[in-house]
Amino acid sequence: MKKLLIISCLLIAINFGTSCVDSKIQDTEVKLVTAEEMQSILELEDVQLVDVRTPKEHNKERIANSQNIDYNSPTFDEDISKLDKAKPVILYCKGGKRSAKCAKKLKEAGFEKVYDLDGGISKWKHSDKLKIEVKS
C-alpha cells in the first residue's frame, strides 16, 4: 500500500512538471493563424500588424492598417527594435517564408506574442476574411 501511494505521488508530480514545461514551450512558439483568426485577434487585442515585404509590394496591395518593415532591408533589425515587445505582433508576407524568418527573430529578441499569417497574403487575398487595400 505504501508503494502504491509513493508511485501515485510520483506520477502526480511528473504530470504537474510536464504540464508546466509544455506551457513554457508554447509561450515561446510562434502561432500560425488563418485570416479569420487574425481578424479576431485584431478586434480583441491592441496588435502591431507588420508586412515584411518590400515597400513596392506593400504599396501595390496590403492588409489595411499594416505597417511595412522590409525583411530584406539593411535597417531591418533597427526597424523591428522600434516595435513594442509587450504588444502582440502579427506578421505577413507574400507566401509565408519571410514572415516565418522574421517571427523567429522577434521571438529571439524577446517579443511576447508573435503570430504569423499562414500562407501569407497570397493565400488569403481573394477571401472575404481580410480587408485588402489595392493601389489603383
Annotated domain spans of the chain: 29-134
Catalytic residue among 9, 20, 93, 102: 93
Terminal-to-terminal C-alpha distance of the chain: 78
Mean pLDDT value across the chain? 85
Angle at 128 between CA 125 and CA 131, to 5 degrees: 65
Cα–Cα distance measured from residue 124 to residue 51, given in angstroms and rounded to the nearest whole number: 14
Task: Give the model's pLDDT for residue 4.
Answer: 60
Residue type, 37: E
User: pLDDT tier at 102 (50, 70, 90 boundaries)?
Assistant: very high
9 noted as active-site residue: no
Q: What topology is assigned to 29-134 in CATH?
A: Oxidized Rhodanese; domain 1 (3.40.250)
Q: What percent of the chain has pLDDT over 90?
A: 65
Cα–Cα distance measured from residue 6 to residue 8, given in angstroms and rounded to the nearest whole number: 5
Task: Give the model's pLDDT for residue 16.
Answer: 53
Task: Give the model's pLDDT for residue 25.
Answer: 40
Render pLDDT for 56-97 as a digit per residue (tens, 0 to 9).
Answer: 999 999 999 999 999 999 999 999 999 999 999 999 999 999
